[in-house]
Amino acid sequence: MFNKILIANRGEIALRVINACKELGAKTVAVYSEADRHTLPVRFADQAVCIGPPRAADSYLNIPRLISAAEITGADAIHPGYGFLAESASFAEVCEASGITFIGPGAGLIRLMGEKDRARREMAAAGLPVLPGSDGVVRTEEEAKAAAARIGYPVMVKAVAGGGGRGMRVVGSEAELPALLAAAQHEAGQTFGCADVYVEKFIARPRHIEFQVLGDKHGNLTHLGERDCSIQRRHQKLLEESPSPAVSEEVRQEMGQKVVAALRALGYNNAGTIEFLLDDEGNFFFIEMNTRIQVEHPVTEMVTGLDLVKKQILLAAGARLEMLVRPNLKLRGHALECRIVAEDPETFKPSAGRITTFNIPGGTGVRVDTAAHAEAVIPPYYDSLVAKLITQGKDRREAMARMARALEMFVIEGIHTSIPVHRQILADPDFLAGRYDTHFLDRFLRNHIPV
């Protein structure tokens, strides 16, 4: 095991890692920018090193300063948390070259999963379904028709240079194709100066489903069930749950087996998350893999009873998986997580400032992961996450009832937060029935009177 672990992060995840280290008996080193001098990770770590000015590029993203901090404190491992350098293959490499263990799967796997196209090809080769599409650019009607027929309607014609919904058309049948292809090509040319388009399977109501995995350095790997993260706004997740109301036990088994087989083949180790789109008919398509601990890891912890950050540390130290996770682990009950962010609930503008009142809800089945407190300052330099409110129940209904009452009791004053939006989601009939997809929040926000 490690003697001393440096946490190359800030806020709630830095505190979360400190918790795990303390429980494992490892000493901790917090690093902080000048903006974070008076924060809880600095206070609760055994040692703290100021690494730079507030700008992340000069502090939390500055590899030489982090390595120097590890060297002067004698840390033998670095936990990167999430964000910042958590998925930087070069940081992992520099750590290894400096004789410091990077707590993660290693530079090679981080680099592979960071190159999205290569990751898709490798995962398809390893047996995971990927979203069917044309083999590159389609130029003529005939090429497009052939590709669409192979993929199956409906399909999406998308600009190669695309983004923001421009140069995109959903095509329901072959009869519609010629006109919509021409329209997409024209719009792409007008908008991006490049008329190249490709064809991809269209999923009308996709859900974002991700599987948590843990692997050791001896070739063993297991999955810990899925999380449903479909409640998102512009790809920012706002609420997550496990298990997903849309995944049956049969599908979980099937997907779990495919995930484990594919990642074992790659020699994946440590914690990771593999993300899929799920369509109405129960088909999964691989999107990408995250080679780090995720923000929403607590929902999996609540239904498995495992401390994932401790497992990460032990796995990085060389522990064998069978010592950490018992075989045939079953998910227990249900868990939800609301990401409370410092944003104006109407405009979603970031709301930095000093927190004046901070009342954390408690009671059975409620967990709050946060580094915030009354009088704490949310600085404008970093992401806007203030707290993660997690509830657990024997079933989804109980977890939701707990979440609703915990949101009522969570009082934050001095800054704007997303709590009012979360309260409304928890009162929405479609959400309560488990009927939602990745477009839910956009529809929901359009249909709701501003809070």
Partner 1 sequence: MKRKAAAKGKGKPKGKPAGDSLIPFAQVQALVDLLEERGLEEFEMERAGVRIRIRRRGSLPAAPVFESYLPGAANSGPAPAAESRSAEAQAETAAEMGLLAEDVHVVKSPIVGTFYALPQPDALPFVKLGDAVEVGQVLCIIEAMKLMNEIEADVAGQVVRIYVENAQPVEYGEPLFAIRPGKKK
Catalogue the active-site residues: 292
293: closest CA among 281, 276, 268, 310?
Answer: 310
Question: Distance between alpha carbon 271 and the CA centroid of its chain, in Å?
Answer: 12
Question: Distance between alpha carbon 235 and the CA centroid of its chain, in Å?
Answer: 10
Identify which range of 41-49, 198-206, 240-248, 417-425 contacts partner 1 by CB under 8 A: 41-49
Find the angle CA(331)-CA(306)-CA(296) to the nearest 5 degrees. 80
Nearer to partner 1 by C-beta: 20 or 113? 20
CB of 58 to partner 1, least distance (A): 9
Identify which range of 61-69, 110-118, 146-154, 329-337 contacts partner 1 by CB under 8 A: 61-69
Q: Does 48 bind partner 1 (CB under 8 A)?
A: yes
Q: Is the distance from CB of 230 to CB of 208 less than 8 angstroms?
A: yes
Exactly one of 23, 43, 139, 141 binds partner 1 (CB under 8 A); which one? 43
CB of 82 to partner 1, least distance (A): 23
CB of 110 to partner 1, least distance (A): 21
Q: Does 415 bind partner 1 (CB under 8 A)?
A: no
Number of helices (H), then strands (E), belonging to the chain: the values are: 16, 20
Nearer to partner 1 by C-beta: 91 or 286? 91
Nearer to partner 1 by C-beta: 98 or 220? 98
364: closest CA among 387, 392, 332, 342?
Answer: 392
E strands along 310-437, which residues? 334-341, 353-354, 357-359, 366-370, 377-378, 385-393, 411-413
Nearer to partner 1 by C-beta: 84 or 198? 84
Q: Does 26 bind partner 1 (CB under 8 A)?
A: no
Q: Over the Cα atoms of the chain, what is R_g?
A: 23
**Which residue carries 């190669």 as its tokens?**
160
Exactly one of 19, 68, 191, 424 binds partner 1 (CB under 8 A); which one? 68
Exactly one of 52, 83, 167, 414 binds partner 1 (CB under 8 A); which one? 52
Exactly one of 5, 15, 51, 209 binds partner 1 (CB under 8 A); which one? 51
CB of 316 to partner 1, least distance (A): 22
CB of 38 to partner 1, least distance (A): 9
Q: Does 221 bind partner 1 (CB under 8 A)?
A: no
DSSP code, position 355 = -
Exactly one of 19, 24, 47, 166 binds partner 1 (CB under 8 A); which one? 47
Sign of the alpha-carbon dihedral angle for 259, 264, 265, 267: positive
Nearer to partner 1 by C-beta: 42 or 112? 42
Q: Is the distance from CB of 315 to CB of 220 less than 8 angstroms?
A: no
CB of 29 to partner 1, least distance (A): 10
Whole-angstrom distance, CA of residue 423 vs CA of residue 403: 9
Quickly list DSSP for 232-297.
EETTEEEEEEES-TT--HHHHHHHHHHHHHHHHHHT--EEEEEEEEE-TTS-EEEEEEE-S--TTH
Whole-angstrom distance, CA of residue 32 vs CA of residue 382: 12
Identify which range of 64-72, 75-83, 168-176, 181-189 contacts partner 1 by CB under 8 A: 64-72
Stretch 69-128 residues interacting with partner 1 (CB under 8 A): 69, 71-73, 98
Q: Which residues bind partner 1 (CB under 8 A)?
A: 34, 42-44, 46-53, 59, 64-65, 67-69, 71-73, 98
